[in-house]
Amino acid sequence: MDGVKDRAARNRVSVALEHLKWPFLLAAVLVVVSAMVVAGMVPSLLTAPKPALAAPSWQVPPAQLSQPSGVLPLDKNAPLPVPAQVSRLLDGPLKPDGAGSMTGVVLDASTGQVLFDRDANSNRIPASNMKLLTAVSALKALGPETRFTTRVVAGSTPSTVVLTGGGDVLLGAGASVPTAVMGHAGLSSLASDTAAALAKAGVKGPITVQVDDSLFTGAPLNPAWSLDDVAAGETAPLFPLAMNSGRYAPDSTTGPRPQDSALTTAQAFATQLAAAGVAVNPGVVRGKGVPAKVLATVQSATVGEQVDLMLETSDNFLAEDMGRMTALASGRKATYDDATAAVRQRLGELGIATDSMQLADVSGLALDNQVSTRQFAEVVRAITSGPETALRAALDGFPVAGLTGTLDNRYAADGTAAGAGLVRAKTGTLNTVIALSGYVVDADGRLLVFSFIGNGLDPGAAGNKVAMDRAATVLASCGCRG
């Protein structure tokens, strides 16, 4: 207290310091405790946040998806089902709900051994199971990585451009979407590139738009189809270019379709060209351009991607387009008759017997088609485990029971739920026809392929689809060894 000489003053300072001592001590204690908590020395006073745990390996997203290379037995030593046991288990559920009959076959995918046979060689109306034949034929003829090109070429005069179809019926009205299948190639992108090419060439317009749909020949509408089905929008006259697989909107799956998809697409292109700043004359007509003078192009999704979309959604219009393109790749004309001939040709090259087949279209809408369940099972086997690896591209297109495509709302009924997520099969439905062909791994890890077809059935009888779903579920659930 050297700075305070007066005793009374020193006393007053001492008293003041005494009053200040305890607040300072309390503050010091709190600082020390806080430091101890931070250091983790007093966990009971305050729990420090724990570091985040690393996600287990099975929850870590893969860096890239593997490409399908086939479906093989999960266990190479998986036992083979006993045919008598398979027959015993399938005979019960595989029965029609009312009139008609059901045929079927089950094969071991690895060996081809027949495990179940109910009139498997009898010809049946297959409905949309026909698309399986189209899928393997397209993949065989075209290759899964092929893309279709839509071109804009110069016309006969500088002020004319010609939109030229190259087989892409999945064109979108807007910009191209590289990650999409439908709409992968967009008319807006094509129009923008065309406008840039016209500007570079010094063409000011107004421009006349024409369309060249001469890639496909013959009648645009198959005479084997019911006009009632056409009116209902099950399909439409076929041309080598269309938007939304021949529908007015990409999310439309039912209802009337454009009856001239080539002109409809060209009109939409003219609208996009005007939006890109080009003066465009009203009206669109058919015409031929100069092939060597290409102004702009867009390319479709791959054939493999289109085949998968066709199988998953059972798209009739896309299937017929694939048939025509298969015919062209097989050295034939792009007619309905040449499409069925090309499918027959490519199936023969795969070693599948075709002499007994009757093919009226390649989508399955025609009632004149006749194919056996054995032939369908052989096609599925060629896809899953045959030597032609290009066919593996169709694996992703098979609808998954209870989850995707035309099987998304099935496999909830009694006796079918166990097949959800396991059965993968192409469906087929007409008024008196139900079909289901696909593959499944049984409880012992054996890969089986199957085909079931019902004909002469009571229209709308709900039990028919359930019967086939139960039959497929039996295969998924059993080892079938007695």
Condensed to tens digits (0 to 9), the pLDDT of residues 175-197 reads 999 999 999 999 999 999 999 99
For every residue of 436-447, DSSP letters joined together read EEEEEE-TTS-E
Q: What is the pLDDT of residue 43?
A: 40
Residue 68 has pLDDT above 90, yes or no: no
Q: What is the pLDDT of residue 381?
A: 98
Confidence of residue 7 (pLDDT cuts 50, 70, 90): very low
- Give me the catalytic one of 300, 314, 363, 451: 314
Sequence-distant (6+) residues with CB within 8 A of 200 are none
Residues 302-329: what's their mean pLDDT?
98
Quote the percentage of the chain above a pLDDT of 90: 81
**Cα separation, 152 vs 149, whole angstroms:** 10
The length of the chain, given as a count of residues: 482
Confidence of residue 74 (pLDDT cuts 50, 70, 90): low
Q: What is the pLDDT of residue 204?
A: 86
The residue type of 438 is G
Mean pLDDT (the chain, rounded): 88
Note the pLDDT tens digit of each residue in 418-450. Answer: 999 999 999 999 999 999 999 999 999 999 999
Q: Which residue has the higher pLDDT, 176 or 74?
A: 176
Residue 124 has pLDDT above 60, yes or no: yes
Note the pLDDT tens digit of each residue in 36-49. Answer: 333 443 344 344 44
Q: What is the pLDDT of residue 482?
A: 67
Residues 295-313: what's their mean pLDDT?
98
Query: Is 426 in the active site?
Result: no
Query: Is 128 in the active site?
Result: yes
Q: What is the pLDDT of residue 437?
A: 98
Tell which residue, 134, 133, 128, 126, has the closest CA to residue 102.
126
Residues 59-86: what's their mean pLDDT?
65
Q: What is the pLDDT of residue 414?
A: 86
Structure tokens at 93: 């559920």
Query: Is 314 in the active site?
Result: yes
Residue 57 has pLDDT above 60, yes or no: no
- Give me the catalytic one of 131, 140, 426, 465: 131
Residue 322 has pLDDT above 80, yes or no: yes
**Cα separation, 374 vs 461, whole angstroms:** 25
Contact 375, 397 (CB under 8 A): no
Confidence of residue 71 (pLDDT cuts 50, 70, 90): low
Residue 32 has pLDDT above 90, yes or no: no
- Give me the catalytic one of 128, 261, 300, 372: 128
Quote the percentage of the chain above a pLDDT of 70: 84
